[in-house]
Structure formats: C-alpha cells, structure tokens
Structure 1
Amino acid sequence: MNPVEDQHTHNSRTIVVTGAGSGIGQAVTRRMLKSGWNVVLAGRREAQLQRSAEDHPNALVVVTDVTDPNAVEALATAAATRFGKIDVLFNNAGIFGPAAGIGELTPEQWQQVCAVNLSGAMYCAGAAFRHMQESGGGRIINNGSISAQVPRPASVAYAVTKHAITGLTKSIELDGRPYGITCSQIDIGNTASDMMADVGANSGALQADGSRRIEPSFDIDQAAAAVEFMASAPADVSINNMTITAAGMPFIGRG
C-alpha cells in the first residue's frame, strides 16, 4: 500500500466486524467499505474473510477465534495499529446452536453456544472498550436478534445467550458514559441468510403451536443499511435499540 492510501485509511473511520465471513457480517463489511470506512474483518476462516473483503485497500483481515481472549486482544491491537483507532465495533459473531429445549440440551451444547454468543461477545466488547477509552470514545453495536426479545421454540441456548446480550448492551452504555462510549443493540429478524435457512424459515420453521410455517424474509443489505445508520450516528447520539424484521413475519404476537 502506498503512502497516499495509508494516509487515506488513517483519515477514515474504522469499524471492526466480527463474524465478517458470511451473512450479516459480510453484508455490513461490503456496505461499509463502499461507504468509505476502514473495515477490520474478524472470523475463523481466512478464505471466507478474504471473499468478504474483495481485495479492498481499506480492508484488514484478521483471523480470530472470538472464544479466545488473547486472540481478541490481538484483533483490537491489529485494528488500532493499522488504522490508528477503533471507532465502532459491530459485535456480530454468533451461532444458532442446536434445535433443543431445556430438557434436551446437553452441557456440551450449552457451553459451545455460550462460548461464542456470550463469552465471545464479552471479550470483543471489552477489548474494543479499552481501546476506545484510550482514544476518546467510540460506539459498540451488539447483534442481538429478535430472539433477544421473543424466543423461537426449541432454541433455549440461543435465546438465553441473546437475552444476555441485552444486559451487556445496557451495561456498556452505562459504563461507557464517562469515556464517550455508546452502545447499541440491533435485533434482526428473518434476513435472507444461511442462518434463517438453517432454522427452516424458507421451508417451514417450527412455530409455538407445533406447526411449521414458511416465513417471509428480507434483503440482508437492508439489515446492513441499518447497522451503517447506527454506526454513522453523531457521537452525541445514542441509538439504544433497533428492531428490524421481515414484514409479516411471526414476531409480533408470536405464540
């Protein structure tokens, strides 16, 4: 990279996106790069991250396992070293986990979902928070899911960890006040993504009454646009929570 490009990236705003190799993380990555942001892509699979980055000069790929606190600290350091500071973290990495109710869930399954959705989110938020403290502020956006509000049947591990993200969001927003750090949560329902295909939204998702129903979905780029809106808000504006779903999906009145 030549000095002109290097200077440009340091003058742009920087967002770290976890789970950037696919789904919403990939859509946010590509949208933010097109909007002139520096984007640090984090995830476990380098090939997928490179596909998301599309060789963009303002993209930095950092292979990261969010369940490893040392790897997460290295991610934050790499982002700040390459681009000067971290303006925004999109805390997005997550897994749906097994289709299981509380009586069926094994301890191993529970620990696996917690490691990514809860511990990983905590580690990433903590590392970004410390860098933002040193640099004068920033914004953390946690990907909650509408399951942070109303669970699907047979999804106890996912629902519980996503409910916990709401507590994390509120705690960061409170603890960040003295440092100019705000925290937002986006709860997304039924984007046209691989995760929604996994829960059967396109073929017949399990409903609370035991039936299965094909559910509407919406363009994943619209979710990315919502994240961009939140990330681009002025420093004196806090967007506490945003819910965006496919029109007509069984969310309002789920049961």
Structure 2
Amino acid sequence: MRSEPSPSAHAGGQGQDASKVLLVTGAGSGIGLAVVRAALAEGYRVVLAGRGEAGLLEAAQGNSRALCVPTDVCDPEQVENLFRRAVDHFGRVDVLFNNAGMFGPSGAVDEISLVDWNATLAVNLTGSMICAAAAMRTMKAQQPQGGRIINNGSISAHSPRPKSAAYTVSKHAISGLTKSIELDGRAFGISCGQIDIGNTATAIMADLGVTSGALQANGSLLVEPTFPVAEAARTVLFMAGLPASANIGQLVVTASGMPFVGRG
C-alpha cells in the first residue's frame, strides 16, 4: 500500500517541500546514517538501503516515514528491487544520495591484491553507477518528471592519501560519473552533484588513524582534525533541498585545518 505524503516541512531553511522522497545507500552507518536521521527530523520520506537489515532498522528508529530495503548495490537485480519498492511505497524518488562505499586495501599500488582492487571499485564505482542508472530510469518515468542525484565523493577525488590507490581511483572516477550524469539528465530535469567530505567524525576515520595518527606523504604520522558528522549531513540536505532550477556540481567540506590544501 502506498503511504500518503507527510505534511509539508521546510528543509535546511531553503523553503523546499521536505516531504520529498530521499533514497540513501549505505544508510546504516557513518555519513549515510547521519543523513537519514537528519532527513527524517526535517520531514523527508526516506528509503534506507544497505546490506544489513538490522542496521537499517536501527537507523530508521521505527519512523513511519522510513522504508528499509536491504540491498547490495553491486547487484543490479537488488537495486532494481530497491527502486521498485521505493516507488510502490512512496510513489516516486526525488533524491538519491549515492553514498555506499568502502576504503579498500591499504598499500602501495604494487602491494595490493587484484581481488581487493576489484572489490573496492565494484562497490565505490560500479555500485554507484548501478544505483544512478536505476535512479535515472525512475526519475525519467515519474510524474512530474525529474529529480536529483548526489554522489558521495571524497577529498581523495582531488588529492590522495598515501597507500590508497584503489579508493583514490574510485573517487576520481566518481567525479567523471557525476559530470556525465549531469549532462545525460538535463533533458529530463535530472541534476547531479558531488559532495567531497574530508575528515568528518565517523568510524572509518578512526580506522584510518586520523584521530590517533594518520600516515602523511612524508612518512610521518599526524593527528588530524575532524568535524561532526551532523554537519556533513546538513550539507547533504542543503544540496538535496535546492530548487530544481539550481544545482551544486561539486562541493568540498572539510575539517578546519586538516592537511588537504597543501597536502603532501
């Protein structure tokens, strides 16, 4: 049964109808989780996608405007089911936050395995393409036509960390995917932008040693600053809440003072 839209709310102070439908991949943890929580608080209807159902249900917290659909973004059939479920339940998809990803292997290019390389690109790049393709088909078919895709890139789309070839290549490729989607979607009212986030406080940053000592280009270890993940989520919702007449092609948001400008 299709649920009725919730009463209108205003997202991010932009005066937009926040009852729009936002689909978030990688929704059970990190930035995806923060975006889900912030979007539900703003009145969005939210579709949560991720591999683990338990994490999705915990993220949704029983909210009636949340739909949880366990999904492997690398599987085209599961992604088609995700968007079909979203349309059956909410009637349309207004925004895709293409967020699912992994950091992948740590090592110089001659030290990482082909298996790990392929696994990283499968999730970060091919998974993003599969989800974007399904979103494009959905947004072309719905009435009124159109929508917005926001790809989660990284500051590694601009400048890599040492020993991160697979992740860095995947995020550079996301920049090309973003621009291609923006061009291909124009005739259908579909816009695409990319957010490149640096050192927001999530578990992956702790795993990389950012808060205890991250490897720098000169071989030293440096404790790097972070910023609250809620601020990253707020920035994503700012992009999501723009009117159809406006688009942010690429936005970089980092912790103040992190070694990005002048990295290396």
Normalised by the size of structure 1, how large is the TM-score? 0.97
What residue number does 2:138 align with? 131
What residue number does 2:4 align with? 7
What residue number does 2:176 align with? 167
Does the CA-based 8 Å contact 2:150-2:194 persist in structure 1? yes
- Structure 2 residue corresponding to 1:44, chosen from 25, 28, 51: 51
Aligned residues: 252
Does the CA-based 8 Å contact 2:93-2:138 persist in structure 1? yes
| Structure 2: runs of 5+ lacking an equivalent | 9-18
Post-superposition offset of 1:243: 0.4
Alignment of 1:39-78 (within 5 A): 39-78=46-85
Alignment of 1:70-109 (within 5 A): 70-109=77-116
- Structure 1 residue corresponding to 2:255, chosen from 237, 240, 246: 246
For 1:253, the aligned partner's letter is G
Judged with a 3 Å threshold, the aligned counterparts in structure 2 of structure 1 residues 41 and 10 are, in CA distance, closer, same or farther, namely: farther
- Structure 2 residue corresponding to 1:180, chosen from 163, 181, 189: 189
Does the CA-based 8 Å contact 1:183-1:240 persist in structure 2? yes
Q: Considering fraction of residues, name the structure with more helix.
A: 1
Q: Distance in 2 between matches of 1:10 and 1:62?
A: 24
For 2:213, the aligned partner's letter is G
Matched, 1:31 2:38: yes
Match of 2:195, SS? Answer: strand
For 1:18, the aligned partner's letter is T
For 1:252, the aligned partner's letter is V
For 2:224, the aligned partner's letter is E
Alignment of 1:112-131 (within 5 A): 112-131=119-138
Q: Distance in 1 between matches of 2:127 and 2:167?
A: 14
What residue number does 1:222 align with? 231
For 2:4, the aligned partner's letter is Q
Does the CA-based 8 Å contact 1:10-1:84 persist in structure 2? no
Post-superposition offset of 1:133: 0.6
Alignment of 1:187-206 (within 5 A): 187-206=196-215
| Structure 1: runs of 5+ lacking an equivalent | none
Match of 1:7, SS? Answer: coil
Match of 1:225, SS? Answer: helix
Post-superposition offset of 1:10: 9.4
Matched, 1:152 2:161: yes
Does the CA-based 8 Å contact 1:193-1:220 persist in structure 2? yes
Normalised by the size of structure 2, how large is the TM-score? 0.94
Does the CA-based 8 Å contact 1:39-1:60 persist in structure 2? yes
For 1:8, the aligned partner's letter is P
Q: Distance in 1 between matches of 2:131 and 2:220?
A: 38
Q: Distance in 1 between matches of 2:177 and 2:196?
A: 14
Post-superposition offset of 1:8: 2.7
Does the CA-based 8 Å contact 1:88-1:139 persist in structure 2? yes
Q: Distance in 2 between matches of 1:14 and 1:53?
A: 14
For 1:201, the aligned partner's letter is V
* Identical positions, percent: 57
Match of 1:76, SS? Answer: helix
What residue number does 2:14 align with? none
Q: Deviations over 1:34-74 (max 9, x none)?
A: 10100000000011111110110000000000010110111
